[in-house]
Amino acid sequence: MSDQIDTKTGWLSPDLLENIRANVPLVYVDAIPVRVNSLGRVTHLGLLLRVAADGTISRMVVTGRVMFGERIRDALIRHLEKDLGPVALPRVPTNPAPFTVVEYFPDPDQSGFHDPRHHAVSLAYVVPVDGDCTPSQEALDLAWFTPEEAVSEQVRQQMTGGHDRLIRFALAHVGELP
Protein backbone atom coordinates (compact mmCIF):
# COMPACT_ATOMS: atom_id res chain seq x y z
CA MET A 1 0.00 0.00 0.00
CA SER A 2 1.27 3.47 -0.87
CA ASP A 3 2.22 5.81 1.95
CA GLN A 4 0.16 8.50 0.19
CA ILE A 5 -3.10 6.69 -0.48
CA ASP A 6 -4.78 4.10 1.70
CA THR A 7 -6.47 2.07 -1.04
CA LYS A 8 -8.61 0.13 1.41
CA THR A 9 -10.34 3.19 2.90
CA GLY A 10 -9.88 5.72 0.11
CA TRP A 11 -8.38 8.30 2.49
CA LEU A 12 -5.42 10.42 1.52
CA SER A 13 -2.48 11.31 3.70
CA PRO A 14 -2.84 14.79 5.28
CA ASP A 15 -0.04 16.23 3.12
CA LEU A 16 -1.45 14.81 -0.11
CA LEU A 17 -4.98 15.97 0.80
CA GLU A 18 -3.71 19.50 1.44
CA ASN A 19 -1.95 19.51 -1.95
CA ILE A 20 -5.06 18.22 -3.73
CA ARG A 21 -7.31 20.73 -1.94
CA ALA A 22 -5.07 23.50 -3.26
CA ASN A 23 -5.40 22.31 -6.87
CA VAL A 24 -8.51 20.18 -7.46
CA PRO A 25 -12.18 20.55 -6.51
CA LEU A 26 -13.30 17.74 -4.19
CA VAL A 27 -16.67 15.95 -4.35
CA TYR A 28 -18.87 16.18 -1.26
CA VAL A 29 -22.42 15.32 -0.25
CA ASP A 30 -24.68 17.59 1.79
CA ALA A 31 -27.65 15.89 3.44
CA ILE A 32 -30.51 17.69 5.14
CA PRO A 33 -32.12 15.15 7.48
CA VAL A 34 -35.87 15.62 7.75
CA ARG A 35 -38.85 14.19 9.58
CA VAL A 36 -42.01 13.78 7.51
CA ASN A 37 -45.63 13.32 8.50
CA SER A 38 -48.01 10.61 7.26
CA LEU A 39 -48.72 12.70 4.13
CA GLY A 40 -45.01 12.90 3.29
CA ARG A 41 -44.69 16.60 4.15
CA VAL A 42 -41.55 17.81 5.88
CA THR A 43 -42.33 18.77 9.47
CA HIS A 44 -38.80 19.18 10.88
CA LEU A 45 -35.20 19.58 9.69
CA GLY A 46 -32.23 18.34 11.69
CA LEU A 47 -29.29 20.71 12.07
CA LEU A 48 -26.02 19.88 13.75
CA LEU A 49 -24.10 22.29 15.93
CA ARG A 50 -20.38 21.82 15.34
CA VAL A 51 -17.12 23.57 14.59
CA ALA A 52 -17.30 24.68 10.95
CA ALA A 53 -14.42 24.82 8.45
CA ASP A 54 -14.00 28.53 9.19
CA GLY A 55 -13.50 27.81 12.92
CA THR A 56 -16.88 29.12 14.08
CA ILE A 57 -19.44 27.15 16.07
CA SER A 58 -22.26 26.85 13.56
CA ARG A 59 -25.53 25.09 12.76
CA MET A 60 -25.05 22.98 9.66
CA VAL A 61 -26.33 20.11 7.60
CA VAL A 62 -24.70 16.68 7.47
CA THR A 63 -21.79 16.99 5.07
CA GLY A 64 -18.67 15.14 4.04
CA ARG A 65 -16.37 13.94 1.28
CA VAL A 66 -17.06 11.15 -1.15
CA MET A 67 -14.17 8.70 -1.01
CA PHE A 68 -12.43 7.32 -4.09
CA GLY A 69 -14.42 4.34 -5.39
CA GLU A 70 -17.40 5.07 -3.12
CA ARG A 71 -20.92 5.27 -4.49
CA ILE A 72 -22.82 8.49 -3.71
CA ARG A 73 -25.53 6.51 -1.89
CA ASP A 74 -22.92 4.84 0.31
CA ALA A 75 -21.32 8.22 1.11
CA LEU A 76 -24.71 9.63 2.12
CA ILE A 77 -25.46 6.69 4.40
CA ARG A 78 -21.96 6.76 5.90
CA HIS A 79 -22.14 10.46 6.77
CA LEU A 80 -25.74 10.31 8.02
CA GLU A 81 -24.99 7.34 10.27
CA LYS A 82 -21.72 8.88 11.47
CA ASP A 83 -23.34 12.23 12.35
CA LEU A 84 -26.81 11.06 13.46
CA GLY A 85 -26.00 7.64 14.89
CA PRO A 86 -26.32 4.08 13.63
CA VAL A 87 -30.07 3.90 14.28
CA ALA A 88 -31.06 7.11 12.47
CA LEU A 89 -32.54 4.89 9.72
CA PRO A 90 -32.08 7.26 6.75
CA ARG A 91 -34.31 6.53 3.75
CA VAL A 92 -31.83 6.98 0.90
CA PRO A 93 -33.22 5.88 -2.48
CA THR A 94 -31.42 3.16 -4.41
CA ASN A 95 -30.33 5.70 -7.01
CA PRO A 96 -30.45 9.12 -5.29
CA ALA A 97 -30.62 12.32 -7.32
CA PRO A 98 -29.52 15.62 -5.73
CA PHE A 99 -31.97 18.50 -5.54
CA THR A 100 -29.10 20.90 -6.27
CA VAL A 101 -25.36 21.09 -6.75
CA VAL A 102 -23.48 23.54 -4.53
CA GLU A 103 -20.00 24.88 -5.17
CA TYR A 104 -18.05 25.95 -2.09
CA PHE A 105 -15.11 28.31 -2.68
CA PRO A 106 -12.36 29.74 -0.48
CA ASP A 107 -13.57 33.20 -1.58
CA PRO A 108 -16.92 33.79 0.20
CA ASP A 109 -18.04 36.23 -2.51
CA GLN A 110 -17.65 33.83 -5.44
CA SER A 111 -20.86 31.80 -5.00
CA GLY A 112 -22.29 32.58 -1.58
CA PHE A 113 -21.14 29.15 -0.39
CA HIS A 114 -17.85 29.23 1.48
CA ASP A 115 -15.25 26.76 2.65
CA PRO A 116 -11.91 28.39 3.48
CA ARG A 117 -10.03 25.12 2.89
CA HIS A 118 -10.76 24.52 -0.77
CA HIS A 119 -13.07 24.45 -3.77
CA ALA A 120 -15.64 21.69 -3.28
CA VAL A 121 -18.53 20.52 -5.42
CA SER A 122 -21.32 19.14 -3.26
CA LEU A 123 -24.38 17.16 -4.27
CA ALA A 124 -27.24 18.14 -1.95
CA TYR A 125 -30.04 15.82 -0.79
CA VAL A 126 -33.10 15.96 1.46
CA VAL A 127 -33.15 12.64 3.35
CA PRO A 128 -36.00 11.45 5.58
CA VAL A 129 -34.83 9.74 8.76
CA ASP A 130 -37.09 7.47 10.77
CA GLY A 131 -35.01 6.35 13.74
CA ASP A 132 -33.56 7.83 16.88
CA CYS A 133 -30.79 10.30 16.20
CA THR A 134 -27.81 10.79 18.47
CA PRO A 135 -25.25 13.37 17.34
CA SER A 136 -21.69 12.18 16.79
CA GLN A 137 -18.85 13.14 19.10
CA GLU A 138 -17.78 15.72 16.49
CA ALA A 139 -21.15 17.45 16.83
CA LEU A 140 -21.97 19.52 19.87
CA ASP A 141 -25.73 19.17 19.39
CA LEU A 142 -28.48 18.06 17.02
CA ALA A 143 -31.68 20.08 17.03
CA TRP A 144 -34.88 19.64 15.05
CA PHE A 145 -36.50 22.77 13.64
CA THR A 146 -39.83 23.33 11.90
CA PRO A 147 -39.47 24.87 8.43
CA GLU A 148 -40.50 28.24 9.88
CA GLU A 149 -37.89 28.01 12.64
CA ALA A 150 -35.17 26.83 10.25
CA VAL A 151 -35.44 29.98 8.11
CA SER A 152 -35.90 32.34 11.07
CA GLU A 153 -33.31 35.06 11.58
CA GLN A 154 -32.30 33.52 14.92
CA VAL A 155 -31.37 30.16 13.34
CA ARG A 156 -29.93 31.70 10.16
CA GLN A 157 -27.49 33.74 12.27
CA GLN A 158 -26.14 30.46 13.69
CA MET A 159 -25.14 29.21 10.22
CA THR A 160 -22.04 29.94 8.16
CA GLY A 161 -20.70 28.93 4.78
CA GLY A 162 -24.03 29.36 3.01
CA HIS A 163 -25.88 26.58 4.84
CA ASP A 164 -28.73 29.02 5.54
CA ARG A 165 -29.18 29.38 1.76
CA LEU A 166 -28.98 25.62 1.30
CA ILE A 167 -31.79 25.15 3.84
CA ARG A 168 -33.96 27.60 1.92
CA PHE A 169 -33.21 25.75 -1.36
CA ALA A 170 -34.13 22.44 0.29
CA LEU A 171 -37.39 23.75 1.72
CA ALA A 172 -38.33 25.26 -1.65
CA HIS A 173 -37.53 21.93 -3.31
CA VAL A 174 -39.95 20.02 -1.03
CA GLY A 175 -42.62 22.77 -1.23
CA GLU A 176 -42.26 23.87 2.40
CA LEU A 177 -40.48 27.25 2.17
CA PRO A 178 -42.44 29.58 4.45
The pLDDT value given to residue 8: 52
pTM for the full model?
Answer: 0.89
H-assigned helices in the chain = 14-23, 72-84, 147-150, 153-156, 163-173
Domain 5-173 in CATH 1.10.10.10? The answer is: no
Helix (H, G, I), strand (E, B) or coil at 137: coil
Mean pLDDT by 10 residues, the chain (178 residues): 48 83 92 97 97 89 94 97 94 96 94 93 97 88 97 96 97 97
The pLDDT value given to residue 56: 87
The pLDDT value given to residue 59: 97
Round to whole Å and give the CA distance between 172 and 178. Answer: 9
